[in-house]
Chain A
Amino acid sequence: MELLGLSAREIAAGVKAKKFTAEEAVRASIERIKRYDKKYNAIVALCEEEAVASAKRVDEAVARGEEPGALCGVPYVVKDNFCTKGIVTTCCSKMLKGWVPNYDATAVEKMKEAGAVLIGKANMDEFAMGSTTESSIFGATLNPRDRTRVPGGSSGGSAAAVAAGYVPVALGSDTGGSVRQPAAFCGVQGMKPSYGQISRYGIVAYASSLDQVGPLAANVGDLALLMDVLAKGDPNDTTCDAYERPSFTGAAAKASLAGKRVALLTGYDRGSLDAPLSAAIDRAVEICRAEGASIIDVKLPITMEHSVACYYMVALGDASSKLACYDGMRYGHHADGRNLSEMYKKSRMEGFGEEVRKRILVGTCILTRGYYENYFVPAMKVRQLISDEFKNLFEEADMLICPISPALAYKRGLGEKDPVRMYLGDVFTTIANLAGLPSVSLNLGFTAEGLPTNVQLLAPRFGDDGLLCCAAAIERAAGAPHIAELTEDD
């Protein structure tokens, strides 16, 4: 039985129908990782023993005739900032090197309940700060589509694991595009749900008001399946609403654009996009029109002008606050000092990498009296204006189409050479986080050189089901991406 390239739905159905066992699916996944990941470095901790044991439990349950979950026997990986009970969780930072949580993140728990099997922890930018997965203490992940390029970040390991065919689905976290941009760079589908849709409990925080768990998969149907499993209220996270969710798989199965009002973002320099990405947008619009949607051109002047600055104000201010708990006292890297203050300084100086220190420093500055009033408070007001701009937009449209990133997957090393360009690359993704909107990164095929092209779709807050319905329709017309062909040689 060839398991490579099967979707999560196909694997779950196969295990349920006893065409193959969960153990076989899990072992296939582990074998592929063992064979190729020395080259790609997407996985930072493989938990083979635990995975095989869980898979056997799933098989036993199936044998007993118990109702298996929606993801029964499906292998998956999570970004290394999800707490996993008994399995190292490091945020790819020296600060948490070797740290083993004694509890599972709610999202991990939900996956387990649905019968999914955790294979390992995926590489990421240290503490989710970066767009290239190059700042990990475990070294950079390579893009499975082109090893000279980065997989995007910060959930680069998760996106690469799906693109490489290690696992059909993976989980990442998206603070300013950290699921969608790597999905785009690696040629898979990625989603950032509405803020408050999935519990953040157990996700090591970057920025409380922006972070959201996001699924990655090779197709929209699997994204919807993960949404059904993950999007539930959680008493441990009071920002995760306890409302009754619609069926996301039901919505995706409809896959329809008929009668939909689709907004196309204009008012920025289309010429500044890499040509294949501009073409991908045209293609998506064409599909929408052909499928019976009406197209309107819209501008988001405040959003386009201010979102990046606003995003970094909010994110870095929050990050400096959330990362203050790493003081060397109770867990994580500890350095001795002659007094308390020296201990803090040395522990934090040694434990955090350069990008993280830089962001904490800027964030601390932003929250300092004076700067707070002059920079942070206005940023919060701008954030409200951005939300308002979207509220108005979604009164006349059901969905917005815009780019994910202005560029195709970057060559490795760009972050060091041109950090500002890298930050500006976030202009289109951060808006969804600032406004709390659901957003999907949708693959639209590949360039002649084999680089993935893509578009971003956005919908009103808690319009995640409608978004998946449209995304599935576009995917049906454009075709879902296939997994990458890997090589073992250099």
Chain B
Amino acid sequence: MKREVVIGLEIHLQLKTRTKLFCSCSTDYIGATPNTNVCPVCLAVPGTLPVINDLAVDLAVKMGLGLHCDIQDGTRFHRKHYFYADLPKAYQITQYEHAIAQGGYLDIIAEGKKKRVHLDHLHLEEDAGKLVHPTADGRLSGAAYSLVDYNRGGMPLSEIVSRPEMNSPAEALAYIAQIRQLARYLDVSDGEMESGSLRVDVNVSLSNPDGSLGTRVELKNINSLRSIGRALEYEIARQNRVLDEGGELEQETRLWDDAAGVTRSMRSKEGARDYRYYVEMDLAPIDAKPDYVRRIRESLPEMPWDKRDRFVSEYGLSLEESQQITEQREVADYYEEIVKAGAPAAKAANWMRTEVQRILRDDALDITEFPISARRLGELISKVEKKELSNTQAKDVLAAMYGEKLSLEEAMKKCGASGEKMTGGALEAVVEKVFASQPEAVDAIKKGADKKGAKVKFLQGLVMRETRGSADPAEVARTVAELLK
């Protein structure tokens, strides 16, 4: 019996603001000495009050608009109560029933198919601090005490909650990648999982035979896209196995153990926990009047999927090529500059995906750090198109431009690729040189031992290589034949 996989995702994006959500503490906490990015407000010192960071609201609205949500005017924050050492107020300020962005959807492409995933909402909330357990393995069990670092407390997060509409790990991964790409396009978040600025909680269940939703299991603590894929595969298999054996699934939260490759039960009956949500009266409702929303909407850049589709229609790229080039907004911009500089679109795409990407990958560079301007690269590629340079020559020139920081002209000179064709006496000199290095072959040909002409072809090839492709093959053949006489 085939059960359908049903996956819903909650993604926490850390918003790119300079200060925290409710105070003016710096958000630059990675690597900071514990408890240095804190103030009376984020430590909940008696008498202090939260003040909303307007930029965080702007970013949340931006992201909400990118996700086609309805932006709500006058939404409020709630207090979500629980006692824990990393939560100074003993409540987290979050948006509960009045999220700033409601509904919305995201189109994804997974396994070659387009799919629309609907969202429940996007809301704003503050992060909690971090507990550090001074045992060898960093775990709480066995520790005589724990340390609290409140630097992360109050960091601005937006939580994006999808409907349970993804039906495979591949779809879930495509969804996350698409969210991350959008966040980066809009400059709303770094979207980096390693540093925790993108965190994912996964809800997964298997549908019952009658089509109704099965028992839902939440997976937490997954720190990379790869782990999410593995955790989902594992959990789906586990649930299938339990059901196949006639067992029942428990509604619970499970932690992903990346080293062991398994999920483990964390606590059950999560649903029974009562957070006692209560309206945050210290904060006025958020103003998001139509005028303000319109201004933010007008400030939005071209969406990544629009860019991707436009590159297909405007530049004739394949969907896959376009997807690769538009993955990062700056790469896409760079590509368009190359084309504007005169390089043919298809060839430019090829160069971006091979030569440029290789250098960036090898030297771990960001496109913004790539020292060769798009205009120069465009000129280089158009020289290939005009047959002033062979492909091989052009790659050498690029290497010289990058490695030795030469200008296009200098690099061409350096590689002996002045752009002029090698003919006449110059070509003859090269042929003589090749002949001198291959006396046996020349001898054999002159003795008439080269019945199939293989040795002549071999010499011609050497000449072509020596001229770095700047000679006309027909002329090379002619000159070789002549000088062999």
Q: Residue among A96, A102, A204, A327 with the most chain B CB within 10 A? A: A327
A340→B48 CA distance, assembly (Å): 25
Provided the pairs A200-B49, A321-B278, A325-B88 are in contact, do residues A239 and B83 lie with their beta carbons within 8 angstroms? Answer: no
Provided the pairs A238-B283, A324-B90, A330-B88 are in contact, do residues A372 and B276 lie with their beta carbons within 8 angstroms? Answer: yes
Complex A-B, nearest 7 residue pairs according to Cβ-Cβ distance, in ascending order: A324-B90, A208-B281, A209-B281, A367-B276, A202-B47, A83-B47, A204-B46
Q: Quick one: CB contact mask for A39-63 with B, threshold 8 Å, 1 for yes?
A: 0000000000000000000000000
B91 lies within 8 A of A324 (CB):
yes
B47 lies within 8 A of A238 (CB):
no
| Cβ of A76 to closest chain B Cβ, rounded Å | 18
B contact face: mostly helix, strand, loop, or mixed: loop
Residues of B within 8 A of A325 (CB): 44, 46, 88-90
Kindly identify which residue among A82, A236, A367 contacts B278, using a CB–CB cutoff of 8 Å. A367
B43 at the interface (CB under 8 A from A): yes
B52 lies within 8 A of A238 (CB):
yes
Q: Residue among B84, B85, B276 with the most chain A CB within 10 A? A: B276
Provided the pairs A201-B48, A321-B81, A331-B45 are in contact, do residues A239 and B40 lie with their beta carbons within 8 angstroms? Answer: no
Kindly identify which residue among B49, B89, B148, B278 contacts A201, using a CB–CB cutoff of 8 Å. B49
A394 at the interface (CB under 8 A from B): no
CB within 8 Å of A: which B416-445 residues:
none
Chain A's closest residue to B284 (CB) is A238
A86 at the interface (CB under 8 A from B): no
B274 at the interface (CB under 8 A from A): yes
Residues of A within 8 A of B44 (CB): 325, 330
Q: Residue among A83, A208, A209 with the most chain B CB within 10 A? A: A208
CB within 8 Å of A: which B46-95 residues:
46-52, 79, 81, 83-85, 88-91
CB within 8 Å of B: which A357-412 residues:
364, 367-369, 372
Residues of B within 8 A of A233 (CB): none
A103 at the interface (CB under 8 A from B): yes
Residues of A within 8 A of B369 (CB): none
A291→B281 CA distance, assembly (Å): 41
Residues of B within 8 A of A329 (CB): 85, 88, 148
A344 at the interface (CB under 8 A from B): yes
B43 lies within 8 A of A330 (CB):
yes
A321 lies within 8 A of B274 (CB):
no
Which chain B residues have a beta carbon within 8 Å of chain A's beta carbons?
Answer: 40, 43-52, 79, 81, 83-85, 88-91, 148, 274, 276-278, 280-284
| Cβ of A412 to closest chain B Cβ, rounded Å | 29
Q: Quick one: CB contact mask for A237-273 with B, threshold 8 Å, 1 for yes?
A: 1110000000000000000000000000000000000
A238 lies within 8 A of B90 (CB):
no
B278 lies within 8 A of A237 (CB):
no
| Cβ of A411 to closest chain B Cβ, rounded Å | 33
Provided the pairs A238-B51, A367-B276, A372-B276 are in contact, do residues A103 and B40 lie with their beta carbons within 8 angstroms? Answer: yes
Residues of A within 8 A of B274 (CB): 368-369
A432 at the interface (CB under 8 A from B): no
Q: A83-B47, A238-B282, A367-B276 are in contact. List 14 more A-B contacts (CB 8 A).
A: A82-B47, A101-B46, A103-B40, A201-B49, A237-B282, A321-B91, A324-B83, A324-B89, A325-B44, A325-B89, A340-B85, A367-B81, A367-B277, A369-B276
Provided the pairs A368-B276, A369-B274 are in contact, do residues A321 and B79 lie with their beta carbons within 8 angstroms? Answer: yes
A8 at the interface (CB under 8 A from B): no
B46 lies within 8 A of A83 (CB):
yes
A204→B47 CA distance, assembly (Å): 4
A205 at the interface (CB under 8 A from B): yes
Chain B's closest residue to A203 (CB) is B47
Provided the pairs A324-B90, A367-B81 are in contact, do residues A237 and B49 lie with their beta carbons within 8 angstroms? Answer: yes
Residues of A within 8 A of B84 (CB): 340
A364 lies within 8 A of B276 (CB):
yes
Q: Quick one: CB contact mask for A197-219 with B, threshold 8 Å, 1 for yes?
A: 00011111101110000000000
Residues of B within 8 A of A479 (CB): none
CB within 8 Å of B: which A182-205 residues:
200-205
A239 lies within 8 A of B85 (CB):
no
A318 lies within 8 A of B281 (CB):
yes
7 A-B residue contacts at CB 8 Å?
A: A89-B46, A201-B49, A202-B47, A237-B282, A325-B44, A325-B46, A330-B44
A102 lies within 8 A of B83 (CB):
no
Chain A's closest residue to B50 (CB) is A238
A236→B283 CA distance, assembly (Å): 11
A330→B45 CA distance, assembly (Å): 8
Residues of A within 8 A of B49 (CB): 200-201, 236-239
Residues of B within 8 A of A340 (CB): 83-85
Residues of B within 8 A of A96 (CB): 46
A235 lies within 8 A of B276 (CB):
no
A325→B48 CA distance, assembly (Å): 11
A144 at the interface (CB under 8 A from B): no
Residues of A within 8 A of B91 (CB): 321, 324
Chain B's closest residue to A196 (CB) is B284
Residues of B within 8 A of A70 (CB): none
Residues of B within 8 A of A207 (CB): 281
| Cβ of B152 to closest chain A Cβ, rounded Å | 16
| Cβ of A78 to closest chain B Cβ, rounded Å | 12
A239 lies within 8 A of B282 (CB):
yes
Kindly identify which residue among A205, A344, A372 contacts B47, using a CB–CB cutoff of 8 Å. A205
A4→B281 CA distance, assembly (Å): 42
Q: Quick one: CB contact mask for A303-327 with B, threshold 8 Å, 1 for yes?
A: 0000000000000011001001101
A329→B274 CA distance, assembly (Å): 22
Residues of B within 8 A of A321 (CB): 79, 81, 91, 276, 278
A105 at the interface (CB under 8 A from B): yes
A208 lies within 8 A of B47 (CB):
no
| Cβ of B184 to closest chain A Cβ, rounded Å | 31
B89 lies within 8 A of A239 (CB):
no
Residues of B within 8 A of A344 (CB): 83
Residues of B within 8 A of A201 (CB): 47-49
Chain A's closest residue to B41 (CB) is A236
CB within 8 Å of B: which A80-108 residues:
81-83, 89, 91, 96, 99, 101-103, 105
A249→B2 CA distance, assembly (Å): 80
Chain B's closest residue to A91 (CB) is B46
| Cβ of B106 to closest chain A Cβ, rounded Å | 32
A175→B92 CA distance, assembly (Å): 24
Q: Residue among A103, A200, A321 with the most chain B CB within 10 A? A: A321
Chain B's closest residue to A239 (CB) is B284
| Cβ of A387 to closest chain B Cβ, rounded Å | 15
Residues of A within 8 A of B46 (CB): 83, 89, 91, 96, 99, 101, 204-205, 325, 331
| Cβ of B38 to closest chain A Cβ, rounded Å | 10
Chain A's closest residue to B146 (CB) is A340
